[in-house]
Structure 1
Amino acid sequence: MLDGRGLEIFSISIMLLTVLMLSWQVLWMSGYGKRYASSCYCETERLLTQSGYYSTAILVALTVLREGAEVVLFLYSLSLTSTGRVDAGILPGGIAGLLLGGLVLWGVYSGLVLISLRTFFAASNFFLILIAAGLASQAAGILARVDILPALGWQLWDTSSILPDNSWAGTLAHTILGYTATPSGIQICAWLLVFVGIITLRFYLLQRGQH
């Protein structure tokens, strides 16, 4: 059973792995998403024609399995607190998200909800970038606390009187943005580095895809 420093190092590893996965997903979709979607559509039609529905069902099952593994890793990373321990409150949130996602999916396929795919993917990519930056900031904070990275100032400001960490809004901001009322300098640097880095690379890939 991991405890103390070992638990913190394990938590940092999970956070950074999730940051890499989210960054790769955003950048890959920006550079190759449209081409991949067209290729998948053609390959699915060919597979249905040549191999029937069983091969397609297996392919879909493997895809869902892979995405499910990513979701588990993603939720575990979001559940980690600033001490590197797991917050049990992530379970009801994950279940609520699953139900909400199923409801939206049903609405889209039934025609009750009309969503522009371009707008949807742009918004979801931006959302993932924010989460990746937040996780990087949290990981940097833990690394500073265990003396692996310099803190660059332990408390740049204190916004606990405006948005406390333990409030529902503070918890939501922490989950999405990596918010903390008393951030260290290394946390701010890590957040900006990941956010600006992914945005810049995404813009470059989008521009290259247009030429």
Structure 2
Amino acid sequence: MLNALIVVWRESLEAMLVIGVLLAWIARQPEPAPLRRGLWAGAAGGLLLAALLGAATFLVQSELQGEALEIFQIVMVFVAAALIVQMVLWMRKHGRGMRRELERQAGQASGALGVGLVTAFAVAREGAETVVFLYGLGLESGGGALLANAGAAATGFVLAAATAWLIARGSRLLSYRTLFAISEVLLLLIAASLLAGGIDRMIGMDWIPPLLDPVWDSSALLDDGSGIGRVLADFLGYRARPSASVLIGYLVFWSLTLWALWRTGRRPAAA
């Protein structure tokens, strides 16, 4: 549930900041009214595209059975984890110049239609990522947590709106860079948790060997089936009885991710 809240908060905040940047740009134009209508029409169109993706995802799932369904779900879990990492890396690389890039795209767009398309693409991208993330998180949480995840997603959206409003007001309590730096860490922890869940599913299907299972047993100290242990399992991918395959997956994930973050952080300095 916490994972869904964080993901929706981050994705919704990005979309709202994009809209805020474009609204500020529109306010400086000679005839802002039609451009503003085009922006809101584009935002609605982007949300519609994301909703259609969500409907298509569940339609595909309903048509699959047995091993085909399991393959689809495992692939979606890994895609969600990969998208989270890609999103963090993309924002690291382009976040500082995102305002200038959006204004450039809006300036090159042809009137209200062009601004609407720029907005629709930005909102649809964030919405599509959210759909994939929530689907992957829902699979890891189980069907019984669907209502709780929906409530967490709604809460995340409300918190994103409040955060965007405070940033727009120039609140000294909130720093855009600090918020996104903290959210980067949280999102990468969620991605690692999704990865662990996907590997566990593959082991359960006998697609990969556990190698050594378990490597240790800490269930007497902190069980991952209930209480704090369950929260850590959902949020951090904690395993009281981890297999060697899961631990290797963790090692590879964090090694590659930290290397990519280091490399992305060096590029502006090198340039």
If the length of structure 2 is used for normalisation, what is the TM-score?
A: 0.66
- Alignment correspondent of 2:17: none
Are 1:153 and 2:212 matched, yes or no? yes
Aligned equivalents of 1:207, 1:135: Cα separation in 2: 28
- Alignment correspondent of 2:232: 173
SS of alignment partner, residue 208 of structure 1: helix
| Cα separation, partners in 2 of 1:100 and 1:170, compared to 1, 3 Å | farther
Are 1:118 and 2:177 matched, yes or no? yes
Are 1:190 and 2:190 matched, yes or no? no
Aligned equivalents of 2:170, 2:268: Cα separation in 1: 31
Deviations 1:143-201 (A, max 9, x none): 11211111022222333344333435334323322223322111111122112211111
Are 1:6 and 2:65 matched, yes or no? no
Aligned equivalents of 2:152, 2:222: Cα separation in 1: 21
What is the percent sequence identity of the aligned residues? 31
Q: How does 1:1-211 map to 2 (within 5 A)?
A: 1=62, 2-44=64-106, 46-47=107-108, 51-81=110-140, 85-86=142-143, 87-88=145-146, 89-112=148-171, 114-211=173-270
If the length of structure 1 is used for normalisation, what is the TM-score?
A: 0.82
Unaligned runs of 5+ in 2: 1-61
Aligned equivalents of 1:69, 1:197: Cα separation in 2: 25
What letter is aligned with 1:187? V
Larger fraction in helix: 2
- 1:70 Cα shift? 1.0
What letter is aligned with 2:233? H
SS of alignment partner, residue 76 of structure 1: helix
Deviations 1:60-90 (A, max 9, x none): 13321221111011011112238xx544232
Aligned equivalents of 2:151, 2:229: Cα separation in 1: 18
| Cα separation, partners in 2 of 1:70 and 1:168, compared to 1, 3 Å | farther
Do the aligned partners of 2:167 and 2:175 also contact (CA within 8 Å) in 1? Answer: no
Aligned equivalents of 2:250, 2:77: Cα separation in 1: 13
Q: For structure 1, which segment, 188-197 or 58-67, has the greater mean C-alpha deviation from structure 2 after superposition?
A: 58-67
| Cα separation, partners in 2 of 1:171 and 1:107, compared to 1, 3 Å | farther
Aligned equivalents of 2:260, 2:204: Cα separation in 1: 30
SS of alignment partner, residue 140 of structure 2: coil
Do the aligned partners of 2:224 and 2:240 also contact (CA within 8 Å) in 1? Answer: yes
Q: For structure 1, which segment, 52-61 or 184-193, has the greater mean C-alpha deviation from structure 2 after superposition?
A: 52-61
RMSD of Structure 2 on Structure 1 (CA): 2.5
- 1:112 Cα shift? 4.3
Aligned equivalents of 2:198, 2:121: Cα separation in 1: 31
| Cα separation, partners in 2 of 1:112 and 1:32, compared to 1, 3 Å | closer
Do the aligned partners of 2:167 and 2:176 also contact (CA within 8 Å) in 1? Answer: no
- 1:30 Cα shift? 2.7
| Cα separation, partners in 2 of 1:168 and 1:101, compared to 1, 3 Å | farther
Unaligned runs of 5+ in 1: none
- Alignment correspondent of 2:47: none
